[in-house]
Structure 1
């Protein structure tokens, strides 16, 4: 069975995320709003979530809180601040969030 990531991000995916959606080794679903992210968690049953802080609709931090209330799903919260800088906060079950910055 192929990994099933859910990407919750607005239009204009970061190139790295766009490559993931095209990779045949993954069964990737992309949604564009916070509400559709929560709906997809029930319907799609992903094994990980990549959540953009630029997500329209339901606040991304609210989405994160709701997911944490019902699941220990691995989540990467990302925020693209410029053409070459991405900030990433990873929220893992049972541990506090860790933060990394890549350039």
Structure 2
């Protein structure tokens, strides 16, 4: 009987630790001087930083932090040439948002794909 209880408890604990964190598909468009230079798509886990570089002149990091069932805060760090800027933007899921850095622009479309 103790063996069965031990196995049941182990199964319950194992199943509780297998829940996945929220995951997002982040579609982006990168513009430099008004010209589209790339449109990368990333799969990002909540609260984890994702990074992408486009050539040697442009790179960005982003972190998606869920706010509620309809929105998330996206923290981006954009490096264009020698300029480094950080933006905090609240986005609605499935609605495009823009991070504008003068001559450079980054559009974001965040879609929740798992929770």
The TM tier, using the shorter chain, reads: 0.3 to 0.5
Please tell me whether Structure 1 or Structure 2 has the larger radius of gyration of its CA atoms: 2
Higher percent of residues as strand: 2
Which is bigger in relative contact order (C-alpha 8 A, separation at least 6)? 2
Q: So what's the TM-score if we normalise by structure 2?
A: 0.32
Higher helix content, 1 or 2: 1
